[in-house]
Amino acid sequence: MINVIIIDDHPIVVDGMRQLIDAEPGMRVVGAAMNGADGKELLKSTPADIVLLDINLPDINGMELCEYIHRHYPALRIIALTGFKEYFYMQKMIHNGASGYLLKNAMPEEITEGIRTVYGGGEYFSDEAGNVIRMHREKGGIFLTMRETELLSLIVEGYTNREIADKLFLGVETINSYRKNLLLKLGVKNTAAMVRLAITEKLV
Amino acid sequence: MINVIIIDDHPIVVDGMRQLIDAEPGMRVVGAAMNGADGKELLKSTPADIVLLDINLPDINGMELCEYIHRHYPALRIIALTGFKEYFYMQKMIHNGASGYLLKNAMPEEITEGIRTVYGGGEYFSDEAGNVIRMHREKGGIFLTMRETELLSLIVEGYTNREIADKLFLGVETINSYRKNLLLKLGVKNTAAMVRLAITEKLV
DNA sequence: AGAATAACCCCCCTAAAGGGGGTGTTGGAA
DNA sequence: TTCCAACACCCCCTTTAGGGGGGTTATTCT
């Protein structure tokens, strides 16, 4: 029996997953949390095999939580379950210990198959995610570093330096440096042009 | 009995909604579609009272589909069900005939309450959405004028206020006013978010 | 004639972004 | 072991953007 924990702040998604997994023979949902803090508590009290982890959580970043889980519960296998289809997130989650990456528009069969594959020790990426990862892996040249890409995404989403600093627990001056460096690397002179480039060139 | 149709490309969301609604007395899901084309077919064959409509659909834009549904089935009440919290989307959906706007992180009770309220002839907006809408309704602002669109394009292209002013033979302060008004109308708080919205929604 | 709206202009003031310099740590490749 | 890239941080300073007000015209619809 594969025991699954869900950490996701969308009640509807949690309900849907629960129904899907419980209906599947050989696996069941043993707990669910709607934020990072509850998630950590849940992990402490409830032994499980698989964690389905959202990236968008109200209190902490899912990617950090992924790293935390991987460090504190190395035996636990993590599958990212998110709407983000940007390579950046996949790269980061895998780097932080995730063994699978499921997009929320994945078909139910993909989800159960993913759980089984990852439980068996493998890696699993849902169709679209797999394509994106393959595309980038052969191209290789990501000329922005991970941190830079991360910063860029946050800028594109409209966060100010102050907000980004708080979110990442860094100094404002640090964010400033990154921002200036991004302008330099991308060869643009202001945020507006950078955002446009980031979107049209799919850098995020 | 309130008959509900769901149009959303996330199977898990559909499952979750279905479970939630079917468990609620007095309402039931009579059909679901995962894209716009299937959605249109479904509407043709299946009479219903409420449509829960996602904005992110693989084939067509949910906002356009909203308008289509409203025109072809005026009796049908539409509730937007989406993750977008920008005012722009709410405004557009309401303008296109939606009677409610639910964010995907809404609590289950909000969803069922929303369905009931809208079925009863009212309007319903989930907590966060409601705040955003109320804030904007008092201030007003529907579509972009020619001039505003022109300004927006120039901003997206990375020109500063000074440059735009010179280019259009206007005062810098005038450009400033336009820019501020654009932020207000589009419901975003800075240039980065505005540029993103302008590009992804093809406002330019 | 009156109301509404687009287009235009101006002030003050603060917050945020950007330009140009710099420091130090770390972890991996050579 | 040395070297380098990535990362995080700091200073001073100027420009740009954004928040809050205040207006005037001309047109268009009723």
CA distance B94 to chain A (A): 23
Per-residue confidence band for B204, with pLDDT thresholds at 50, 70 and 90:
low
pLDDT score at A141:
40
CA/C1' separation A70–C14 (Å): 44
CA/C1' separation A18–D25 (Å): 63
**Among residues of chain B, what percentage have pLDDT more than 70?**
92
Per-residue confidence band for A32, with pLDDT thresholds at 50, 70 and 90:
very high
Q: Which of A8, A9, A12 to mutate to test the interface with B (most CBs of B within 10 A)?
A: A12
For residue range B70-105, list pLDDT tens digits in order.
999 999 999 999 988 777 778 778 888 899 999 888
For residue range A159-195, list pLDDT tens digits in order.
999 989 988 889 899 999 999 988 888 878 899 999 9
CA distance linking residue A80 with residue A84, whole number of Å: 10
CB pairs under 8 A between A and B: 105
Q: Is the Cβ pair B195, A195 closer than 8 Å?
A: yes
The closest of A174, A39, A101 to A31, measured between CA atoms, is: A39
CA/C1' separation B174–C26 (Å): 50
CA/C1' separation B174–D25 (Å): 15
pLDDT score at B138:
45
Closest C1' nucleotide to B144's CA: C6
For residue range A84-130, list pLDDT tens digits in order.
877 667 777 887 888 899 988 888 999 999 999 999 998 898 877 77
Q: Is the Cβ pair A104, B199 closer than 8 Å?
A: no
Phi, psi of B159 (to 5 degrees): -75, 145
Distances (CA, A) of A3 to A27, B21, B160: 6, 27, 55
CA/C1' separation A68–C23 (Å): 30
Per-residue confidence band for B136, with pLDDT thresholds at 50, 70 and 90:
low
> Among partner residues A108, A189, A199, which is closest to B11 by beta-carbon distance?
A108
Q: Is the Cβ pair B195, A190 closer than 8 Å?
A: no
Burial class (CB in 10 A: 0-12, 13-18, 19+), A135: exposed
For residue range A38-97, list pLDDT tens digits in order.
999 999 999 999 999 998 888 888 888 888 898 889 899 999 998 887 766 777 788 788
For residue range A42-59, list pLDDT tens digits in order.
999 999 999 999 988 888
- Show the tokens assigned to B47: 């009479």
CA distance A43 to chain B (A): 22
Per-residue confidence band for B140, with pLDDT thresholds at 50, 70 and 90:
very low
**Among residues of chain B, what percentage have pLDDT more than 90?**
50
pTM of the model: 0.76
Among all residues of chain B, which has the CA nearest to that of A187?
B158
Q: Which residues, 6 or more positions from A9, have their beta carbon under 8 angstroms from its beta carbon?
A: A34, A35, A54, A56, A57, A58, B105
Q: At what angle do helices B146-156 and B172-186 cross, to 10 degrees?
A: 100
pLDDT score at B202:
64
CA distance B107 to chain A (A): 6
Contacts of A19 in chain B (CB under 8 A): 15-16, 19
Q: For B9-161, where are the E strands, in sequence order?
A: 27-33, 50-53, 77-82, 98-103, 124-125
CA distance linking residue A98 with residue A123, whole number of Å: 9
Among all residues of chain B, which has the CA nearest to that of A9?
B105
Q: Which of B12, B105, B155, B156 to mutate to test the interface with A (most CBs of A within 10 A)?
A: B12
